[in-house]
Amino acid sequence: MTITPAQRISIMRTWQRVCKDRGWKSSDRDLRLQTFGELIGRAIASTDDVGRIDECTKLMKGLTAMLGVSLQAAREADDTSINQGRVLRHQIAGELIPCLELYIQDVPSYITTIIEDKSRWWKLDRPARSMTILDLSAAPIFRTVNGEAREFPSPLKQLQFTLAARLNSLRKAAGHSIHDMKIKASVPCGCSACVSARNLAEVPQPF
């Protein structure tokens, strides 16, 4: 089953609204194919390549989500990455940020600077206020490299990599072991001494 002319028109109308919304040129063919490809998860050479009905549905949901008209559409488009996003944000907020605070004065600004330096795409998309980890998607990025669609880590995952690497350098420069850092930051430590201490504490003690 292929998509109908009416569906095709509806896709193009929604695309024009997205472009208007974001100040993009709707006549920019490369941008359109790139965006459509990212939304359906494979590279396309022309809009006519979006032939399958499931891809058409995915594309419409993605475009609607970009418009932000329907929260439900945004949720569904993001469905598979919601859980991963939660885990990553939890790790960044609960573990990386408390540790970074040992070495950096203003961690929120530090993170905002990293996010905003990262890519043109995010800059185009960025809200008027400063960006935070809540603005980053956990959905993988699809880009066409030498005619092939390739999957890249999500913006949130990339931020996690960057923060972990920076934290590691800061920790070493301060002469702290991982254990020192985690204890100072009051986050759970996974070193063998701490793990055995925790296991011991869980053994019921006689009164």
Binding site for Zn ion (CB under 5 A): 179, 189, 191, 194
- For residue 186, the Cα-to-chain-centroid distance in whole angstroms is 27
For 139, residues 6+ apart whose C-beta sits below 8 A from its C-beta are: 78, 80, 81, 154
State the minimum distance, in angstroms, from the CB of residue 18 to Zn ion.
Answer: 49
Residue 68 backbone class (left: φ over 0; alpha: ψ -120 to 50; beta: rest): left
| Angle (CA) 59 115 18, round 5° | 30
Read off the tokens for 2. 């292929």
Which two three-digit tokens encode residue 29?
């063919």
Nearer to Zn ion, 164 or 194 (CB): 194
CB of 205 to Zn ion, least distance (A): 22
Closer by beta carbon to Zn ion, 87 or else 191: 191
Which amino acid makes up residue 124?
A: L
Adjacent-strand bridge partners of 2:
52
Taking the complex as a whole, the smallest distance from the CB of residue 147 to Zn ion amounts, in Å, to 49
Kindly state the smallest distance separating residue 161's Cβ from Zn ion, in Å.
23
Nearer to Zn ion, 124 or 191 (CB): 191
Tokens of 148: 């092939």
The number of angstroms, rounded, from the C-alpha of 114 to the middle of its chain's C-alpha atoms is 14
Nearer to Zn ion, 12 or 194 (CB): 194
Q: How far is the CB of 188 from Zn ion (least distance, A)?
A: 9
Nearer to Zn ion by C-beta: 150 or 198? 198
Indicate the residue type of 38. Answer: E
What's the min distance (Å) between Cβ of 85 and Zn ion? 28
Cα separation of 61 and 18, whole Å? Answer: 12
Q: Which is nearer to Zn ion, 68 or 94 (CB)?
A: 94
